[in-house]
Copies of this chain bind each other. A is one copy, B any other.
Amino acid sequence: MDILSIVIIISSIIALLYAGVQAFLIIREDEGTERMKEIAKAIQEGSKAFLNRQYRTVAIVAAVLAIIIAVALPDGWILAIGFVVGAAGSAIAGYIGMHISIRANVRTANKAKEGIKKAFSLAFRGGSVTGLSVVGIALLGLSVFYFWLHNPELMVGFIFGASLISLFARVGGGIYTKGADVGADLVGKVRYGIPEDDPRNPAVIADNVGDNVGDCAGMGADLYETYVVTALSSMLLAYTLNLSYEYVVLPLIFGAVAILATLISIPFVSVKDTKWIMGGLYKGVVITAVISAIGFYLISVYVVNDIRVFYAGLIGLVIMALQVVITEYYTSYRFKPTLKISESSQSGTGITIITGLAYALQASFVPALYISAGILISFFIFGGSITGMGIYGISVAATAMLSVAGIIISIDSFGPITDNAGGIAEMAELPEDVRNITDPLDAVGNTTKAVTKGYAIASAALAALSLFAAYYEVISAHGFTMDLLTIINPPVLVGLFIGATLPFFFTSFLMNAVGKAAYSIVKEVIRQFDEIKGLMEGKAKPEYDKCVDIVTRTALRELVLPGVIAVVTPIAVGFILGPLALGGLLVGVILSGFALAILMTVGGGAWDNAKKYIELGNFGGKGSEAHKSAVVGDTVGDALKDTAGPAINPLVKVVNTISILFLALILAFHLL
């Protein structure tokens, strides 16, 4: 083993050690009162029950797929091992993250007694366990595999494993989290007029479980996948271009550098008061980005000896920063779009939805412009030739953007912890001064989620593009050359066309699933209020576990159809219409998937914060007509931003990974 490989592997181990130590320190903290422990336990049990059942379902699918891969594909056994390891890595990262998240929540609520500084710090450290676990496991898996096989082509099983888990975690977790949330809100706030997180609401635990399985486990699996997909596709490109060893392992070096940068930044992430909590989190992003940039410079000069690597890396970091800024612009009530949505709520619910949709539709155009600029600049820096290193340049930018995933996931996982902490404080009826700490912490979770989702979709699009470049390299070696892959060729055009409608079709089932899951919760809660005497008066306890169980079953049932659509469509198009149409499909999915995912996540975030702005006392405040309209906007936005929108990320990647995996078969047996 050379020095580079040792540095990479050690970095990934350091990330995991950090996560372990941090987890140990967090668990040692005090959980607070008996009531708090009790509530936390209910959330823990619900979360574990869901994740266990979800993983059991996925394990069966994965086992079947592993056998198919092993038997049907050339080098099947190696691909199958990679597939299992990739999937297991994602599952383990998700599991660790959630394990800590559902313990840090109650401890954060308890820590809030000692002030914002300590509560914030604990919640962020909890999030960082997920963040560092994800990048640590991803980097370790990739590097061990690479230093064993020395051939990225044999590693595509690994990314398909990651894709599969990510798809299920995002879709299942997404349906769960919003089915429970929307259901609990509809029946609690709207029907019975009891506040959010009220312990009398039988769906309240399910709602808190949802935050963890959706935002923590779901987002972790999603970015784990994007991370490995981006790294591997860049490695594949370098490998097929016969570039030197340093270029091939560049994504791993970037990853190692960024892990160290992230670890350095963590102690600086802090706040003094509740004024601008997001600012405290942004400190981590800025410091990580700056140190990473310095690291990329040193690598480009002293390791790769190619300054272009630094420029492309910088482009990736700039895109990341711009994406954060623009998402903040569209979803924070410090800026016009969200304020306008708040204001429009005074004219009725219809106008609230129309105005929200208007801004949501707007939000993808400018990102498309700067991502396009980034793509073109990195392409031309690296010579501007398709057959040369140009495309590799784009993948370097993507890799750089993804390398900082650790800090982004940390911030994202901060969200469900503080969200839960707020809920626990409410349910355990903690004194008002504690709630004055947990409430603003809870509120900022909303922004962190929106911002990380913007990052996730932009990086997913870049990852998928890199992967598509790898796809192209393979098919062009089989005679499907550039001139055939032209947009004027009807098979390609048709593939693009079907691909562009796929994200719409796929998310339609997710939206419906949220409706169904919410409806099942509403029915169950009404049943409990009808049958359990004294529940409304707070004299009897609701059956929390029944709600958790119902929404778990609905989510797992409803993830089947979209899951099948995502996996079968590319395979069907590939075998029936051939590799050219499939190439078109892959690009088509990215194109409309990007715009649709941004529409959904931005719209949802903006409606949510528009509601929060009214709740601060503006436009009539809580209980006003404007507030009622804003609540409806928030409900619609919830399904869009936490279920349908984020599920597009794994869709965009899974169609690409599955196509690359089955490409050899498709090239051998296709109809057209």
The answer, among B348, B357, B584, for a CB contact under 8 Å with A190, is B348
A27: chain B residues at CB < 8 Å are none
Per the bound structure, the CA–CA distance linking A36 and B502 in Å amounts to: 50
Question: In the complex where A355-B515, A508-B359, A511-B357 touch, is A587 in contact with B487 (Cβ < 8 A)?
Answer: yes
Smallest CB gap from A587: residue in B: B487
The answer, among B360, B368, B484, B635, for a CB contact under 8 Å with A497, is B368
Most buried by B among A468, A486, A594: A486
Q: Mark A497-517, 1 if CB is under 8 A from B, else 0.
A: 110111011011101101100
Query: B355 to A512, Cβ gap below 8 A?
Result: yes
Question: In the complex where A372-B494, A501-B365 touch, is A512 in contact with B358 (Cβ < 8 A)?
Answer: yes
Query: A354 to B519, Cβ gap below 8 A?
Result: no
Query: A497 to B371, Cβ gap below 8 A?
Result: yes
Query: B368 to A498, Cβ gap below 8 A?
Result: yes
Count A-side interface residues using an 8 Å CB cutoff.
86
A353 within 8 A of B: yes
A494: chain B residues at CB < 8 Å are 372, 375-376
A636 within 8 A of B: yes
The answer, among B349, B504, B505, B519, for a CB contact under 8 Å with A349, is B349
Per the bound structure, the CA–CA distance linking A587 and B588 in Å amounts to: 10
Query: B500 to A351, Cβ gap below 8 A?
Result: no
Q: Mark A630-672, 1 if CB is under 8 A from B, else 0.
A: 0110011001100010000000000000000000000000001
Q: Pick out which of these stretches binds chain B: A104-112, A220-228, A312-320, A386-394.
A: A386-394
Query: B497 to A372, Cβ gap below 8 A?
Result: yes
A485: chain B residues at CB < 8 Å are 486-488
Question: In the complex where A368-B498, A498-B369 touch, is A351 in contact with B487 (Cβ < 8 A)?
Answer: no
Most buried by B among A354, A358, A519: A354
The answer, among B351, B481, B493, B505, for a CB contact under 8 Å with A515, is B351
A468: chain B residues at CB < 8 Å are 488
Per the bound structure, the CA–CA distance linking A351 and B187 in Å amounts to: 12
A537 within 8 A of B: no
Other than A349-B349, A487-B587, A497-B594, give 12 A-B pairs with Cβ distance below 8 A.
Answer: A347-B518, A349-B635, A350-B632, A354-B515, A359-B512, A361-B511, A362-B505, A364-B505, A368-B498, A487-B583, A500-B595, A588-B591
